[in-house]
């Protein structure tokens, strides 16, 4: 069983990692992810007892509180932190002035200065001490957990108290003051990312106007059912996926596609939830309930995207667990061993050990790496590419081969009957047989009224339908289907899909089904190649002649035709030998090859639920041009993550070495630690910019 628990008060990546670790130790909890950015905990549990135990652990973890998921979200308040910093600074500044003017010559000035330093230390450091104390209690609960005890609160507290012990009062106050300023700035940065999620949440409409026999009524989107008629007024958000039945208008689709232009829509056009009506009012019929709408899929994907962590995130989490205890031991060695060989000069080496301890804090890594991935997920979402987790960004950045399904992916998938050979009975038989089919071709017959009813229907994957109509055995499908039943048939070279109809072993006629290439398909594939994709292939069940005719003009390097659904994975394995494989599809028959591919994407608007479930990415607006933007954003994300890891480790190692030789005072060590963290966080915020491809 799975459950999402909404929380508040989880304010750092290290704390989230600790909470996840504690939860996964509970018997009956198979998976737990605490997300400090989205303020939620994702649980997979086996029993009610395990869930209750998890709830107890969450509610007793530091200042974390479980909140009602339906309650309106409150903006974060940093008043307590700002007051602490302000009071500390109010005493720190005059103490610094007194030190500069009088030094330690005047006894009264020295006493007043020390008092101011200590007040400044208490004002900024009380929360650090409280958190360190709470962690010490938790660290020895149910065994010893060193990663819980040795967090940044304890490191800063040891450094500050150590500074006081050796008479460095100014440095003690500076340590906690600079640390609190860094924590506040970190909270602002994370809050900014949470704001991006809030703006995505605003895609959801709060209400919908449903038309009834008695007039109109205002209802929640969740109350709408397929077939309901809605009135979408100017300025309204489209609440669910629907089809226009009366009127025409212009829609702002930016929330789904990332594009700012308005899309013209008319009677018969499908409009997706989350779009905003910027033109005339129109009436529309609900196609799907809210839970199956485009906006619901987007919100669910974005909310859950932090659950699947990328390899660098997992590395940093493991690295911090080992790294922190090791540097604490090294600091103890630095403080205790060298003085034994230098006339017992403990104050000097204790000071250097404290510098080393402060600099070693891994905050920059454990904050900036997940924040970069989160920003990357948000950047893709703004471009209409939704990811199920940060882990897939790394795979997308490495794509060298892209394979596509043809129908509904490279083509529009909006089939219509273009030609009938054999009379009306052929068309009506086909309409009856295709009535309950999930195949995209069945759309061509959806609006054709027929008096016939198909019974004992069997859908034969990749070939067609076998059924009984009025007691006769009827076959509707490809030439291969009919030939398999002993009916001689030959295919013609045409750019239309041909559906053959046979009754009791005799060919009755054939129907031509037309489809069109998506207008931006050629540009989208070319843009993918400019982003480093070396090969574009198409895997289709269609004949090779028809596929080549249909795809004429597209920059496709290879076409694999006449493939059954179970044959596509075999060709996917061959393509994977040439590099990381991206597969893009839209139907149930694409799910096996999606599972075989390194990374996959589904068409969000027209794609089947099975394809969306099996894929790693979803193109919310069925816009192929978003793929190239997604690849570019994934590469940019990985580049920034690498920059932050290399920069943070390099600077910290340099500062550690300098601290060992006494070149850095304690306050400068804290400033260096905070500075590295802030630079890494600011670097991660570069992902907030718009992604564009030429």
Note the pLDDT tens digit of each residue in 336-363.
888 888 888 888 888 788 777 777 766 6
d(CA 220, CA 477): 42
Residue whose tokens read 């905990």 = 41
Q: Return the bridge partners of 403, or none.
A: 537, 583
* Average of per-residue pLDDT across 474-492: 87
* Average of per-residue pLDDT across 582-595: 83
Q: Return the bridge partners of 42, or none.
A: 4, 33
The more confident residue out of 2 and 24 is 24
What ranges make up the beta strands (E) of 180-337? 208-212, 215-219, 229-232, 242-246, 249-252, 262-265, 270-271, 276-277, 282-286
The more confident residue out of 460 and 565 is 460
Which range has the worst mean pLDDT, 31-45, 262-276, 429-443? 31-45
Is residue 38 over pLDDT 80? no
Note the pLDDT tens digit of each residue in 200-236.
555 567 789 999 988 899 898 888 998 999 999 998 9
Note the pLDDT tens digit of each residue in 142-174.
666 666 666 667 777 777 787 787 777 887 887
| H/E element, 580 | strand 580-585
CATH architecture group of domain 416-514: 3-Layer(aba) Sandwich (3.40)
Count Cα neighbours of 37 within 13 Å in the Cβ-side half-sphere: 27
d(CA 256, CA 253): 6
The more confident residue out of 666 and 465 is 465
Residue whose tokens read 């006339």 = 343
Q: What 3-state class would DSSP assign to 622? A: coil
Report CA-CA distances (Å) from 383 to 112, 619, 623, 680, 690: 58, 9, 9, 24, 8
Q: What 3-state class would DSSP assign to 437? A: coil
Residue 427 pLDDT = 94
* Average of per-residue pLDDT across 320-326: 70
Specify the CATH number of the domain 225-288: 2.70.150.10
d(CA 232, CA 234): 7
Residue 361 pLDDT = 66
Name the pLDDT band for 403 (thresholds 50, 70, 90): very high
**Which of the given ranges, 202-216, 241-255, 297-311, has the highest pLDDT on average?**
241-255
- β-sheet with 65-66: strand ranges across: 29-35, 40-45, 2-8, 65-66
Contact yes or no for 354/158 (Cβ under 8 A): yes
Q: Return the bridge partners of 271, or none.
A: 242
Residue 685 pLDDT = 75
Name the pLDDT band for 529 (thresholds 50, 70, 90): very high
Name the pLDDT band for 375 (thresholds 50, 70, 90): confident
Residue whose tokens read 């009916």 = 487
Tokens describing residue 492: 């013609």
Q: What 3-state class would DSSP assign to 476? A: strand
Q: What is the largest CA-CA distance in the chain?
A: 114
Q: Looking at the chain, which residues constitute the CATH 3.40.50.1000 domain(s)?
A: 391-411+519-632
Note the pLDDT tens digit of each residue in 421-440.
989 999 999 999 998 787 77
Residue 428 pLDDT = 94
Residue 605 pLDDT = 61
Is 214 a known active-site residue? Answer: no
Is residue 687 over pLDDT 70? yes
Contacts for 354 with CB less than 8 Å, ≥ 6 apart: 158, 159, 162, 163, 331, 335, 666, 669
Residue whose tokens read 């790693």 = 616
Give the DSSP letter of residue 339. G
d(CA 326, CA 305): 32
Residue 414 pLDDT = 73
d(CA 329, CA 327): 5
Tokens describing residue 289: 């309930």
Q: What 3-state class would DSSP assign to 691? A: coil
Is residue 308 over pLDDT 70? no
Residue 499 pLDDT = 92
Q: For residue 527, which phi and psi values (nearest 5 degrees)?
A: -65, -40
d(CA 177, CA 271): 53
Is residue 565 over pLDDT 80? no
* Helix, strand, coil tally for the chain in percent (to 5): 50, 20, 30
Give the DSSP letter of residue 411. B
Mean pLDDT value across the chain: 80
Contact yes or no for 635/531 (Cβ under 8 A): yes
From 631, 575, 628, 632, select the one nearest 598 (Cα to Cα).
575
Residue 502 pLDDT = 96
Residue 10 pLDDT = 75
Residue 202 pLDDT = 58
Count Cα neighbours of 508 within 13 Å in the Cβ-side half-sphere: 21
- β-sheet with 249-252: strand ranges across: 262-265, 249-252, 276-277
Tokens describing residue 156: 């800063």
SS3 per-residue string spanning 92-160: HHHHHHHHHHHCCCCHHHHHHHHHHHHHHHHHHHHHHHHHHHHHHHHHCCCCCCHHHHCCHHHHHHHHH
Contact yes or no for 230/284 (Cβ under 8 A): yes
Phi-psi region of 422 (alpha: psi -120 to 50; beta: other; left: phi over 0): left
| H/E element, 298 | helix 294-304
Contact yes or no for 643/332 (Cβ under 8 A): no
Residue 362 pLDDT = 65
Tokens describing residue 690: 């718009």
Residue 201 pLDDT = 53
* Average of per-residue pLDDT across 311-316: 58
Residue 467 pLDDT = 94
d(CA 253, CA 271): 9
Q: What 3-state class would DSSP assign to 241? A: coil
Other beta carbons less than 10 A from residue 380's beta carbon: 29
Q: Which candidate in 405, 590, 616, 623 is catalytic?
A: 405
Tokens describing residue 437: 């089919």
DSSP conformation letters of 486-550:
T--------SSEEEEEEETTEEEEEEEEE--B-TTHHHHHHHHHHTT--EEEEE-SS-HHHHHHH
Q: Return the bridge partners of 250, or none.
A: 264
Name the pLDDT band for 473 (thresholds 50, 70, 90): very high
Note the pLDDT tens digit of each residue in 545-557.
778 888 888 999 9
Is residue 470 over pLDDT 60? yes
Which range has the worst mean pLDDT, 281-290, 641-650, 663-672? 663-672
Tokens describing residue 68: 């009602």
Contact yes or no for 643/683 (Cβ under 8 A): yes
Q: In the chain, what percentage of residues exceed pLDDT 90? A: 20
Which range has the worst mean pLDDT, 126-140, 196-210, 228-242? 196-210
Residue whose tokens read 């800063």 = 156
Compute the chain's Rg from CA coordinates: 32
Residue 504 pLDDT = 93
Q: Kindly report the CA angle at 148 between 672 and 128, in degrees rounded to 5?
A: 50
What torsion, rounded to 10 degrees, do the Cα atoms 172, 174, 180, 186 define? -130
Contact yes or no for 208/242 (Cβ under 8 A): no
Q: Looking at the chain, which residues constitute the CATH 2.70.150.10 domain(s)?
A: 225-288
Residue 122 pLDDT = 92
Residue 25 pLDDT = 83
Residue 119 pLDDT = 93
From 521, 515, 570, 578, select the one nearest 547 (Cα to Cα).
515
pTM: 0.61
* Average of per-residue pLDDT across 67-94: 76
Specify the CATH number of the domain 391-411+519-632: 3.40.50.1000
CATH architecture group of domain 2-66: 2-Layer Sandwich (3.30)
């Amino acid at each position: 069983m799975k459950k999402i628990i909404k929380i508040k008060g989880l304010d750092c990546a290290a704390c989230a990692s600790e909470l996840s670790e504690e939860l996964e130790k509970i018997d009956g909890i198979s998976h737990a992810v605490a997300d400090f950015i989205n303020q939620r905990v994702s649980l997979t549990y086996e029993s009610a007892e395990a869930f209750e135990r998890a709830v107890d652990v969450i509610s007793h973890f530091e200042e974390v509180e479980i909140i009602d998921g339906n309650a309106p979200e409150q903006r974060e308040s940093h008043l307590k932190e700002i007051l602490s910093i302000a009071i500390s600074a109010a005493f720190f500044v005059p103490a610094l002035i007194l030190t500069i003017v009088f030094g330690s010559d005047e006894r009264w000035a020295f006493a007043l200065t020390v008092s101011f330093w200590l007040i400044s230390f208490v004002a900024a450091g009380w929360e650090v001490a409280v958190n360190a104390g709470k962690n010490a209690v938790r660290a020895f609960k149910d065994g010893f957990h060193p990663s819980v005890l040795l967090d940044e609160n304890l490191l800063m507290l040891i450094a500050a108290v150590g500074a006081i012990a050796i008479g460095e009062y100014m440095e003690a106050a500076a340590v906690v003051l600079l640390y609190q300023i860094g924590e506040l700035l970190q909270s602002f940065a994370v809050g900014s990312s949470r704001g991006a999620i809030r703006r995505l949440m605003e895609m959801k409409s709060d209400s919908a106007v449903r038309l009834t026999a008695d007039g109109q009524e205002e209802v929640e989107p969740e109350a709408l059912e397929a077939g309901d008629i809605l009135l979408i007024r100017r300025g309204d958000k489209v609440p669910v996926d629907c089809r226009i039945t009366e009127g025409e208008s212009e829609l702002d689709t930016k929330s789904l596609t990332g594009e700012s232009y308005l899309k013209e829509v008319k009677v018969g056009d499908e409009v997706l939830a989350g779009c905003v009506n910027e033109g005339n009012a129109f009436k529309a019929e609900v196609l799907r309930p809210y839970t199956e709408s485009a906006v619901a899929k987007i919100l669910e994907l974005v909310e859950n995207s932090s659950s699947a962590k990328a390899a660098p995130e997992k590395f940093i989490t493991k690295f911090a667990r080992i790294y922190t205890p090791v540097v604490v031991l090294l600091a103890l060695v630095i403080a205790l061993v060298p003085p034994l060989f230098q006339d017992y000069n403990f104050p000097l080496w204790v000071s250097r050990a404290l510098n080393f301890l402060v600099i070693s804090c891994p905050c920059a890594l454990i904050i900036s790496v997940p924040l970069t991935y989160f920003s990357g997920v948000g950047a893709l979402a703004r471009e209409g590419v939704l990811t199920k987790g940060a882990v897939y960004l790394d795979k997308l950045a490495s794509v060298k081969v892209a394979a596509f399904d043809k129908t509904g992916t490279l083509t529009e998938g909006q089939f219509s009957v273009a030609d009938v050979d054999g009379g009306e009975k052929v068309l009506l038989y086909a309409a009856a047989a295709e009535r309950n089919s999930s195949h995209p071709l069945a759309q061509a017959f959806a609006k054709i009224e027929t008096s016939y009813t198909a019974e004992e229907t069997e859908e034969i994957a990749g070939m067609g339908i076998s059924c009984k109509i009025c007691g006769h055995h009827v076959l509707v499908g490809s030439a291969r289907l009919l030939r398999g039943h002993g009916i001689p048939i030959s295919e013609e070279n045409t750019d239309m899909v041909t559906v053959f109809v046979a009754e009791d072993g005799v060919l009755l006629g054939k129907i031509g089904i037309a489809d069109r290439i998506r207008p931006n398909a050629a540009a989208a594939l070319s843009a993918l190649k400019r982003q480093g994709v070396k090969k574009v292939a198409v895997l289709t069940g269609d004949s090779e002649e028809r596929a080549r005719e249909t795809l004429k003009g597209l920059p496709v390097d290879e076409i694999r035709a006449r493939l059954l659904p179970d044959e596509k994975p075999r060709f996917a394995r061959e393509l994977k030998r040439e590099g990381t494989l991206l597969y893009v599809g839209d139907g149930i028959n694409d799910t096996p090859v999606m599972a075989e591919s390194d990374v996959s994407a589904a068409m969000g608007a027209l794609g089947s639920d099975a394809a969306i479930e099996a894929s790693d990415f979803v193109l919310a607006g069925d816009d192929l041009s978003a793929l190239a933007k997604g690849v570019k954003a994934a590469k940019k994300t990985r580049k920034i993550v690498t920059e932050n890891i290399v920069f943070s480790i390099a600077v910290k190692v340099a500062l550690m070495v300098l601290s060992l030789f006494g070149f850095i005072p304690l306050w400068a060590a804290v400033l260096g630690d905070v500075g590295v963290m802030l630079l890494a966080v600011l670097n991660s915020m570069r992902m907030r910019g718009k992604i564009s491809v030429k």
